[in-house]
């Protein structure tokens, strides 16, 4: 287990270093910069701005400064938003993004497992088929389109929820539902498939023969063993929630990290784009690392060493 842990930790660190380096050089390869968008800016002022932000330095000097800055929690100032550093932007936007993501994860996991279990128990009946149709729609409809649908009917027409902003819990409900729509549908399908397979096992038949009720068999035996595919999906699920929040935050005008990132891309704010992209990569890679460890702990029979 320790050997596996160390291998996964080294692989995660190397993956993060590659992503960080690739992001830096790709950003530098894109033509233009935040200052070239200004019209008729004097060349002397432009050179002064480049020197102030070290953009006139050789590329390798900028690269090593960037690497050092990440590990010393100094990714530099924003080139567009005055008096703001990248870590200040992360500090301001992260709590909102985390709250929205946590709500979306709770909705998708709980509702996905519940709907998948009901669909498996009602296989071949109207209820089971209806749940799978809804799940297929959830996978097929983009979350920004579903978000617009919720805004129009629940916020504008019925006035049940606020349409935008993020100042109270009620403001978070529609964005969280929009963000959770696809993973809820996917988890429901995963749970249903796994549950149907588990219900056909001999130990389930033995449990029934002992006189246990259907409810006891499902929730004492079947559901626990049918959740391994869902646990394996937690890594991609977290990635979807984090990256999907870009669009959702923009649609609902939520001041999270995704909103800052999209705005910085539009204005070519190099330091913010690099900082937020690398921060997202760091979070995703190490979430995947911990998910692998949890998966191994849940089912020790799985030998990952042969796959590394």
Q: Per residue in 160-204, pLDDT tens? A: 888 877 878 888 899 999 988 888 988 888 888 888 888 787 777
Residue 66 CA to residue 73 CA, distance in Å, equals 10
Q: Per residue in 41-69, pLDDT tens? A: 777 777 787 787 777 788 888 888 888 88
- Give the residue carrying structure tokens 């130990």: 203
Backbone Cα Rg of the chain: 24
Residue 147 CA to residue 246 CA, distance in Å, equals 13
Inter-axis angle of helices 270-298 and 257-267, to 10 degrees? 140
Half-sphere exposure at residue 167, Cβ-oriented, CA atoms within 13 angstroms: 4
Evaluate if residue 142 carries a pLDDT over 80. yes
Contacts of 154 (CB under 8 A, 6+ apart): 160, 161, 174
Residue 306: inside a domain:
no
Which residue range forms the structural domain that includes residue 198?
Answer: 93-256
Per-residue confidence band for 298, with pLDDT thresholds at 50, 70 and 90: low
pTM of the predicted protein model = 0.75
Number of domains in the chain: 1
Q: Per residue in 249-268, pLDDT tens? A: 888 888 888 888 888 877 77
- Please give the pLDDT value at position 39: 59
Q: Per residue in 225-249, pLDDT tens? A: 777 778 777 777 777 777 667 788 8
Which ranges in the chain belong to alpha helices (H)? 2-29, 43-52, 59-71, 86-121, 126-140, 143-150, 169-199, 202-209, 214-217, 223-225, 228-251, 257-267, 270-298
Residue 214: inside a domain:
yes
CATH number of the structural domain spanning residue 172: 1.10.3720.10
Q: Per residue in 72-113, pLDDT tens? A: 877 778 877 777 888 888 888 888 888 888 899 899 889 988
- Please give the pLDDT value at position 37: 59
């Amino acid at each position: 287990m320790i050997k596996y842990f160390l291998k996964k930790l080294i692989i995660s660190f190397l993956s993060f270093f590659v992503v960080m380096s690739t992001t830096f050089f790709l950003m530098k390869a894109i033509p233009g910069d935040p200052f070239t968008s200004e019209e008729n800016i004097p060349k002397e002022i432009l050179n002064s701005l480049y020197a102030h932000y070290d953009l006139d330095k050789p590329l390798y000097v900028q690269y090593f400064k960037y690497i050092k800055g990440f590990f010393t929690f100094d990714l530099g100032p924003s080139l567009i938003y005055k008096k703001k550093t990248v870590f200040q932007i992360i500090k301001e936007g992260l709590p909102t993004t985390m709250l929205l993501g946590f709500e979306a994860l709770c909705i998708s996991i709980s509702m996905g497992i519940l709907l998948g279990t009901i669909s498996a128990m009602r296989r071949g009946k109207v209820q089971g088929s209806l749940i799978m149709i809804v799940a297929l729609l959830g996978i097929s409809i983009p979350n920004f389109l579903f978000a617009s649908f919720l805004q129009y009917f629940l916020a504008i027409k019925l006035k049940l929820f606020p349409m935008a902003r993020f100042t109270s819990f009620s403001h978070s409900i529609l964005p969280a539902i929009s963000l959770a729509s696809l993973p809820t549908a996917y988890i429901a399908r995963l749970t249903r498939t796994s549950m149907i397979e588990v219900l056909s096992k001999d130990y389930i038949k033995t449990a029934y023969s002992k006189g246990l009720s259907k409810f006891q068999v499902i929730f004492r035996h079947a559901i626990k063993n049918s959740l391994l595919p869902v646990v394996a999906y937690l890594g991609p699920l977290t990635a979807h929630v984090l990256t999907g929040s870009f669009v959702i935050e923009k649609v609902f005008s939520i001041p999270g990290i995704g909103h800052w990132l999209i705005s910085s891309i539009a204005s070519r704010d190099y330091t913010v784009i690099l900082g937020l992209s690398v921060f997202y990569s760091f979070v995703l890679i190490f979430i995947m690392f911990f998910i692998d460890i949890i998966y191994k702990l849940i089912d020790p029979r799985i030998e990952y060493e042969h796959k590394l």
